[in-house]
Amino acid sequence: MVIEEVAGRGARVTAGGSAPSELPRGYFLEPTLIEMPDPRRQGIGREVFGPLAMITPVRDLDEAIELANDSDFGLGASIYTSSLESAMRAATELEAGMVWINDPLKDNDAAPFGGWKKSGFGRELGVEGIGTFTQTKHVHVDFTQAPSPEWWFPYERPPIDGANGSSRG
């Protein structure tokens, strides 16, 4: 299990981490918070879904972005800040398909959903999602079955130069 795996490499479970006592049967996990002071050593190399958050204290925004991008995955990222400059820089530099700023995990059906790197393929939702499920094709039909002109819109027939029939360019 992920919790034991990262705890064995020095990460610390600060909340949750086990099945809720009121749910003795089935596969349930309490909301869990894990502090990872050294994510490069304690990382697990795969995406984790569930009520689990891994927190790493950082020196500054540079280190936060560097650590976040040092992954094969990039589904989503959240940043909490009162600095618009930091928020916009993080949104620009984080290698994630979605970035939430001070408002985590809210989705909007009109916005594209999907990750970067090994986090999914393509997009769902929004105009981008429609494009993912669409195969574009051009089909041209002339129902008149009349001979086509030699030149067609938006092009014009080039002028003919003299008797030899060569075009002027």
CATH number of 2-132, picked from 3.30.365.10, 3.30.450.70, 3.40.605.10, 3.40.309.10? 3.40.309.10
Residue 15 — very low, low, confident or very high, per pLDDT cuts 50/70/90? very high
Domain borders along the chain are: 2-132
Query: What integer pLDDT is reported at residue 42 of this predicted model?
Result: 74
The C-alpha atoms of residue 129 and residue 76 are separated, in whole angstroms, by: 17
> Which residue has tokens 């976040």?
68
> Among 141, 159, 157, 139, which residue's Cα sits nearest to residue 149?
157
The C-alpha atoms of residue 54 and residue 42 are separated, in whole angstroms, by: 10
- What is the DSSP annotation of 44-100? -SS---SSEEEE---SSHHHHHHHHHSSSEESEEEE--S-HHHHHHHHHH---SEEE
Quote the mean pLDDT of the chain.
81
Q: What percent of the chain has pLDDT over 90?
A: 29
